[in-house]
Amino acid sequence: MYQAIVFLPLVGAILAGLITLAGARARFPGGSPVAEGHDHAADHHAVDEHGAQRHDAHHPTEPAAAGSRAAELITTSLLFVSMILSWIGFVSVGFGQDVHVNLINWFTAGDLKVDWALRVDTLTAVMLVVVTTVSAFVHLYSIGYMVEEPYRPRFFCYLSLFTFAMLMLVTSDNLVQLFFGWEGVGLMSYLLIGYWYQKPEANAAAIKAFVVNRVGDFGFALGIFAVFMMTGAIDFDTIFAQAPSLVGKTIHFLFWNVDALTLICILLFIGAMGKSAQFLLHTWLPDAMEGPTPVSALIHAATMVTAGVFMVARLSPLFELAPTAQAVVVFFGATTAMFAATIGLVQNDIKRIIAYSTCSQLGYMFVAMGVGAYSVGMFHLFTHAFFKALLFLGSGSVIMAMHHEQDIQKMGGLKDKIPFTYTMMVIGTLALTGFPLTAGYFSKDAIIESAFVSHNPMAIYAFGLTVAAAALTSFYSWRLIFVTFHGRPHDRHHYDAAHESPAVILIPLAFLAAGAILSGYPFKELFVGHGVETFFRDSLRFAPSNHILEELHQVPYGIALLPTVMMGLGFLVSWYFYIRKPALPAELARQHEPLYKFLLNKWYIDELYEIIFVRPTLWLGRLLWKQGDGRIIDGLGPDGVSARVLDVTRNVVRLQTGYLYHYAFAMLIGAAAFITWFIVRAGTG
């Protein structure tokens, strides 16, 4: 069963890929588009005067689109089968025994033996449910959202390949297999973010995501090397068994000796920072909104960005023994939660607002991981997948209604035009902000309470920032609702043409909305209550001194109520700003222009990176190109010695005239010169 869960998306991707190739051959029977002199990119998409994607500029009757329906049905059907099997596995593993499936011996190099195996425990089962459920509904949603794309098989191929890579990651039994899935989702995110490859913004966003993740992955790879150096193994069981013996040991790193477990965990967390868009390595996530909306929902709501959270949870036996590393995790998690929330206050792109919300919520998850409340962090990962995917896909329905306009300031009054989408977005917002009895209320509040009771050195810092971020999250989330759906229309032309999306788009919204409500209370006992040890068993390890789950149930009532109060405060301020006094936000922005620009420009971190990293790198590259390659290598090589040899040979070749008397004359001159030299030499001797 578990082999089917993992490999069915791969089968769908292969079939969709074959359909893509067949469509390309049907379209260009004489060769490639370049060989035919055909402008593939121009035919593939058209861009309007605002640079936005126009989905009405295609030709659905073209041969390349002939297999689109087959690719859609195959990949989507296989994902739903995988989803159903994942839920069955969730029940059987959660209340039964863990499963280990050894597929093949991948490779052996000296003392390093790597098996390709599936490790299915409760932690894996949770991730299987999250990945396959969101991916299945994203596939279904994409059938409607990408209907005007002539090359849909390629898109569905990428979606299924991404899902396969993520499933390989969460079922990995060792660090090498995990790294394979880790890099696989990175590659597929690059292809999906840059799917509209004729758009410069999409290409730049895809490259940025790829490069920033390579920074984190470098640290992750060093962490894996350090683990192997200290334990001689990369499989989880061996690593976890040897972890206690690493306490007190040191590694010589960058000219000084550091605690081995602290260094290993920090290096591994650097990888999580890149993949899960934590502060300083977060810059790729908002730009990734250049990809299609289903991509945003799949990658940036429930799957790739949560890979770092899953990795820390999987390696909890190491982090539990490295309190300094845990403090680092808490610091970056809390900072990210607050940092991203402040930027979300002033963004106007509907998808970027939700993207910064994702960034902030990932910070919450890492706070839970850092304070040792691993099951609580996984609980928020589980609930967040449903309501954040709902918000992303709901925003896609809004974008379609507004003819692919994404600026909320050009919307307004849409609740009467698209009432179902409005209802779904409100449900997602209630869950995100932690409204009582929604999924977010149970999971996010538990993280804040965990920070309060934790003894981590950064716990008070995390508690203060997560409480403040809760108020900001409520404010900007309801700002999106009020500006988009309430008030007067700001673009009458698009407003008049707006209409509800087709059923193939609305059905996934309904199911995800149910998840945004029902994934909370029914599962609370398993993730936060007294059933955690029974449910997770050995998939999460808690140190004997870690009593955070017991202390979590002893939080004072005022502290437990505080997140709800902050949620209500954020709602009231947002309502006052955008419903009661809609002119007030613009006036405040004018009065506090420096602060407004600071937040609007995302704390100028991109500009700072431009100065610190990008420009020096470009300068160095230009120096090596012009001076190193051009002046030195080319100057001494092709333009130097080689050029002079060529000049000499060209002149020498001219002596080869083919006339006998020329050669006889040359021989005579040579003989005369030789005799003259011999006589002079003999006379001087």
Distance CA 66, CA 619 (A): 48
- Cα Dmax for the chain: 121
Distance CA 91, CA 88 (A): 5
Task: Find, among 119, 132, 122, the residue nearest to 171 by Cα.
Answer: 119
Helix (H, G, I), strand (E, B) or coil at 546: coil
Token pair, residue 212, equals: 């920033």
Handedness of CA 125, 131, 135, 138 (dihedral sign): positive
Give, for 220, the enclosing helix (H) or strand (E): helix 200-231
Task: Find, among 257, 258, 169, the residue nearest to 220 by Cα.
Answer: 169
Angle at 303 between CA 445 and CA 44, to 5 degrees: 135
Contact, 404 vs 53, CB < 8 A? yes
Residue 344 CA neighbour count, 13 Å, CB half: 32
Burial class (CB in 10 A: 0-12, 13-18, 19+), 536: buried
Residues forming beta bridges with residue 107, ordered by sequence position: 114
Distance CA 513, CA 522 (A): 15
Contact, 54 vs 47, CB < 8 A? yes
Task: Find, among 174, 172, 169, 158, the residue nearest to 237 by Cα.
Answer: 174
pLDDT at position 685 is 58
pLDDT at position 27 is 63
Which residues, other chains included, contact 384 with Cβ-Cβ below 8 Å and sequence gap of 6+?
A: 301, 302, 306, 361, 365, 440, 443
Which residues, other chains included, contact 338 with Cβ-Cβ below 8 Å and sequence gap of 6+?
A: 360, 363, 465, 466, 468, 469, 472
Which residues, other chains included, contact 123 with Cβ-Cβ below 8 Å and sequence gap of 6+?
A: 310, 313, 314, 378, 536, 539, 540
Which residues, other chains included, contact 426 with Cβ-Cβ below 8 Å and sequence gap of 6+?
A: 481
Contact, 524 vs 436, CB < 8 A? no
Handedness of CA 102, 542, 367, 301 (dihedral sign): positive
Contact, 387 vs 441, CB < 8 A? no
Distance CA 192, CA 294 (A): 10
* C-alpha of 480 from chain center: 23
Which residues, other chains included, contact 52 with Cβ-Cβ below 8 Å and sequence gap of 6+?
A: 404, 405, 406
Distance CA 172, CA 11 (A): 19
Please identify which residue in the block is written with the tokens 């709602």. Answer: 571
Phi, psi of 486 (to 5 degrees): -110, 180
Which residues, other chains included, contact 140 with Cβ-Cβ below 8 Å and sequence gap of 6+?
A: 76, 80, 504, 507, 508
Distance CA 211, CA 217 (A): 10
Distance CA 389, CA 303 (A): 10
pLDDT at position 24 is 65
The predicted model scores a pTM of 0.88
pLDDT at position 30 is 56
Contact, 289 vs 352, CB < 8 A? yes
Task: Find, among 373, 201, 378, 383, the residue nearest to 290 by Cα.
Answer: 201
Q: Assign residue 196 a region: left if phi > 0, alpha if psi is -120 to 50, beta otherwise?
A: beta
Burial class (CB in 10 A: 0-12, 13-18, 19+), 581: exposed
Token pair, residue 202, equals: 């999409």
Angle at 432 between CA 296 and CA 129, to 5 degrees: 60
Distance CA 112, CA 234 (A): 8
Name the stretches of the chain with pLDDT < 50: 32-64
pLDDT at position 7 is 94
pLDDT at position 302 is 63
Contact, 124 vs 171, CB < 8 A? yes
